[in-house]
Structure 1
Amino acid sequence: MILPRLRDDVQLSAHVEGEEQYLVLHDPFGVADGPIMLHADMFEVLAACDGQTTLADLAYAAGVDPEGPEIRRVELFIRQIQQLGYLEGADADQRRLQVEQAWHSLPTRPMACADATYPSDPQEFARFCRDELGIVQQKGQAPSRGDDGSYPPAVALIPHIDFRVAPRVYGEAFNAIASSPASLVVMIGTSHYWSDHPVVVARRPFDTPLGPLPVIDHALAIPEADIAHKPEHSLELHAVALKYLWPDRDLAILPVLVTSSIFEEGALETWADRIRSAVEGSGREAIWLISGDLAHIGPKFGDALHAHELLPAVHTADERLISALIQADVERYHQAVHTLDNVYRICGHAPTVLALNCRRPGKGHLLQYDVWDDAETESAVTFASIVWQ
């Protein structure tokens, strides 16, 4: 028996209880049941699920009888997780088909983070945005200039880290764009779970606790990739905050997910042109919202060192990135990430480069820079909010 390959889109994370180590398997698209937790005893078996290794290979490596009870238990385990949908094969294919059919039948994109990151109840959500995030709600259409004659931001970088980790960072950022007269928000964010296409643009309205946000008509959708938006939080967090910020505005969105494939030859220029054309064709005044965090470091993200050991170097690297961004020097920003081979996992890299190639703003202003230090996993995430005129 050849061991089926573990599906590429299954997420793996470590979990420790006392002195016992576990591996958690989670399918963000909901194809597989779960999540499920596996004991450390099964790590090597799961690693062998590559579509090439056989049960006989495992028996030989372990020095046990290929027909013995140890291998029979392994075979039973493999069949169980295959039936649950975690391994490639007919079971996963059938499950995926059902999930995709259900997804494509929905009239709107459902909330994935409700009642986890923010409340789904409209009144509770409004209270959360007002009291916890500190967003000042704006009624009606804003003037094209501020009271002091200044123009509102044209582009903003806002994190997509959990609201509860950085509430006031979100509040200050959304308050900074509140004076914009925009009737279209081009939301360009990181694709965490999909990598098959450079860009995936949603076609359906986004549900929020305060009602749906419509999407402008466009010809950018890739139907088979639309499910990339199903589990994605990077645009959802911005969408729900926007609906609270501008509750009665004639507002539409263009939700764009970006993968690292955007850096393949010709992709950046092609997609920047296509997105600009869609925005211009809408006839709406647009503000561009980038959804991205900065560094992801520590054991949780694959580093051998703990976050506190890496943070001094990370802060220096982040300063270079932020300096380039404030100058609206997208090439210098891209090279700064590329020079380090993205060793700090800048998850806002791709959407930032795409957005700043679509809409070339003037100089920017740093609102906040902060760190989420996750003591439990000895890992950390850095993030910043920036606005450009």
Structure 2
Amino acid sequence: MKLPGIRCDLEFFPIQHEGQQFVLIRDGLGLVEEGKAVGLPLFQIMGLLDGDTTLRDLQTALMRQKGGTLVSTDEIQRLVAHLDESFLLDSERYREARNRMIADFASRRLRPCSHCGKSYPRTPSELKARLDKILNSHPVPAPSETKITALMAPHIDLSVGFRSYAAAYQTLKGTACARIILLGVGHQLQGSLFCLTDKDFETPLGLLQADQEAVGRLREAGRDIIAANDFVHRTEHSIEFQAIFLQHVLPDLSPAIVPILCGSLQAGLPDYTRQAYQETAGGFLENLKSLVREPEQDTLIIAGVDFCHIGPKFGHTMPAPAMEAQARTHDRNLLRHLVNQDADGFWQESRSVGDRFNVCGFSALACLLEILPDCRGEVLHHEIWHEPPTRSAVSFAAAVFRQKPESPDRETCPARSLQ
């Protein structure tokens, strides 16, 4: 009899504790106990459970691991039962629990905040004070009369990416818009290019109401490439973090939102090319582009993305410091193509490195490039944050896209020098 495989939606991160190696398990659904870690021997056993492994296969592998010592089937069954009780297996027990969660979320009209009280304060006064502190860490930009068309901000933890958040959202103060298209990264999205929701977003600062009519149009246009349900929005932070900044810097506006999570393009396309992307998602992208251009709706686009993820935590054998120079070059090239609206160059840069640096925001930015009207882009900030315990690092940036002045002889604003 085949044993259940390990869930494919879990994330694993190597950590050290008291000089020993462990693997930290992160579950976006919240079924696995928060902070749960396993030792390397158990993690190696878990790696054998692919859905095709039998009890006898596992018994043989355990005997090898223990130097030929026989491991009883009862002991193996207890081990498998423990993994199942911990919601680590793609078993009937896990699927039933997940289906209950999907049904519960589907029945709700609101998407409640999932990171309040953890990543940022739950009370409005404390949250406003926290956001003010972040925004005040960056100089207030000089006033500009040119309309902001789009904004790129990070989605990394606020305490890490505060400089980029500040650089992005300081520029947005005083902006007027009736609708905001929010492009986020579906970290748990599998098997679909996009996931939409028509739920209103609830945060400690109030509600952001979804543009249900626009979401319905997009669902119809991309029915074959959009997730069947909106469940991955439940705990995804990449849009939620943008929501609280929007409510804070635009307190007098009540724009409708179109929340879109973007999935992996490597997994979702027949070929990792812009042409394949346009052919597969063409109808959806054209409808999204038409929303941006509707004359009766003043629409803003915001992309919540991060860039390179390097080091052992993200699957590399080399530590992040050894990869940093190459990662910075990759970021610099991507950002240059992005602000110049060179979609072909943007794709080619990713293809040239085989997405070696795990740019999690690539799919959202690829979507942004397809729907942006002709405008002027500017990189506002770029940074790489190192996590010494895991010898890993993440890069992130901020950028703004403004409507081009009427004068035809001015060139696109180049990216700022990235240190």
C-alpha displacement at 1:107, in angstroms?
A: 2.1
Match of 1:21 in 2: 21
| DSSP 3-state at the match of 1:237 | helix
How is 1:225-374 mapped onto 2 (pairs within 5 angstroms)? 225-261=229-265, 263-264=269-270, 265=276, 266-279=279-292, 283-374=296-387
Structure 2 CA distance for aligned equivalents of residues 179 and 70 of structure 1? 69
Match of 1:233, as an amino acid? H
Match of 2:160 in 1: 165
- The number of residues matched between the two structures is 380
C-alpha displacement at 1:244, in angstroms?
A: 0.8
- Kindly indicate whether the alpha-carbon contact (under 8 Å) linking 1:4 and 1:88 is maintained by their aligned counterparts in 2: yes
- Kindly indicate whether the alpha-carbon contact (under 8 Å) linking 1:185 and 1:288 is maintained by their aligned counterparts in 2: yes
Structure 1 CA distance for aligned equivalents of residues 24 and 81 of structure 2? 18
- Kindly indicate whether the alpha-carbon contact (under 8 Å) linking 2:176 and 2:253 is maintained by their aligned counterparts in 1: no
Deviates most, 278-287 or 328-337:
278-287
Match of 1:143 in 2: none
- Kindly indicate whether the alpha-carbon contact (under 8 Å) linking 1:45 and 1:74 is maintained by their aligned counterparts in 2: no
1:57 corresponds to 2:60: no
Match of 1:74 in 2: 76
| DSSP 3-state at the match of 1:234 | helix
Match of 1:174 in 2: 169
Match of 1:103 in 2: 105
C-alpha displacement at 1:39, in angstroms?
A: 2.1
- Kindly indicate whether the alpha-carbon contact (under 8 Å) linking 2:148 and 2:401 is maintained by their aligned counterparts in 1: yes
Pair 74,25 (structure 1): closer, same or farther in 2 beyond 3 Å: farther
Pair 307,370 (structure 1): closer, same or farther in 2 beyond 3 Å: same
Structure 2 CA distance for aligned equivalents of residues 31 and 96 of structure 1? 9
| DSSP 3-state at the match of 2:111 | coil
1:123 corresponds to 2:125: yes
C-alpha displacement at 1:104, in angstroms?
A: 1.3
Match of 1:83 in 2: 85
Structure 2 CA distance for aligned equivalents of residues 282 and 50 of structure 1? 52
C-alpha displacement at 1:295, in angstroms?
A: 0.8
- Kindly indicate whether the alpha-carbon contact (under 8 Å) linking 1:134 and 1:168 is maintained by their aligned counterparts in 2: no
Pair 98,66 (structure 1): closer, same or farther in 2 beyond 3 Å: farther
User: Between the two proteins, what is the percent identity of the paired residues?
Assistant: 24
Match of 2:346, as an amino acid? Y
Structure 2 CA distance for aligned equivalents of residues 147 and 171 of structure 1? 16
Give the gaps of 5 or more residues in structure 1.
137-145
Q: CA RMSD in A?
A: 2.5
Match of 2:202 in 1: 207
Structure 2 CA distance for aligned equivalents of residues 326 and 71 of structure 1? 60
- Kindly indicate whether the alpha-carbon contact (under 8 Å) linking 1:2 and 1:54 is maintained by their aligned counterparts in 2: yes
| DSSP 3-state at the match of 1:38 | strand
- Kindly indicate whether the alpha-carbon contact (under 8 Å) linking 1:135 and 1:245 is maintained by their aligned counterparts in 2: no
Structure 1 CA distance for aligned equivalents of residues 373 and 79 of structure 2? 54
What TM-score do the two structures reach when normalised by structure 1? 0.90
Structure 2 CA distance for aligned equivalents of residues 216 and 21 of structure 1? 48
Match of 1:8 in 2: 8
Structure 2 CA distance for aligned equivalents of residues 248 and 197 of structure 1? 36
Structure 2 CA distance for aligned equivalents of residues 49 and 58 of structure 1? 8
After superposition, what is the alpha-carbon deviation per residue over 1:255-292, rounded to whole angstroms, capped at 9, x for unaligned?
11111246553233222112234556794211111111
Pair 126,135 (structure 1): closer, same or farther in 2 beyond 3 Å: farther
Match of 2:129, as an amino acid? R
C-alpha displacement at 1:32, in angstroms?
A: 4.5
Deviates most, 176-185 or 94-103:
176-185
Structure 2 CA distance for aligned equivalents of residues 281 and 155 of structure 1? 15
Pair 199,361 (structure 1): closer, same or farther in 2 beyond 3 Å: same
- Kindly indicate whether the alpha-carbon contact (under 8 Å) linking 2:196 and 2:227 is maintained by their aligned counterparts in 1: no
Match of 2:86, as an amino acid? L
Give the gaps of 5 or more residues in structure 2.
220-225, 271-275, 403-419
Match of 1:193 in 2: 188
Deviates most, 18-27 or 234-243:
18-27
- Kindly indicate whether the alpha-carbon contact (under 8 Å) linking 1:152 and 1:179 is maintained by their aligned counterparts in 2: no
Pair 147,190 (structure 1): closer, same or farther in 2 beyond 3 Å: closer
Match of 1:314, as an amino acid? A
Residue among 188, 201, 224 paired with 2:228: 224
Match of 1:139 in 2: none
After superposition, what is the alpha-carbon deviation per residue over 1:46-73, rounded to whole angstroms, capped at 9, x for unaligned?
1111111222123334258999555432
- After the TM superposition, which parts of structure 1 deviate over 6 Å for at least 4 consecutive aligned residues? 64-67
Pair 4,316 (structure 1): closer, same or farther in 2 beyond 3 Å: same
Match of 2:244, as an amino acid? V
| DSSP 3-state at the match of 1:344 | coil
Match of 1:29, as an amino acid? L
Match of 2:335, as an amino acid? I
- Kindly indicate whether the alpha-carbon contact (under 8 Å) linking 2:136 and 2:166 is maintained by their aligned counterparts in 1: yes
- Kindly indicate whether the alpha-carbon contact (under 8 Å) linking 1:373 and 1:379 is maintained by their aligned counterparts in 2: yes
After superposition, what is the alpha-carbon deviation per residue over 1:122-156, rounded to whole angstroms, capped at 9, x for unaligned?
000010111233389xxxxxxxxx966x3122111
Structure 1 CA distance for aligned equivalents of residues 44 and 280 of structure 2? 38
Structure 2 CA distance for aligned equivalents of residues 380 and 25 of structure 1? 18
Match of 2:94, as an amino acid? A
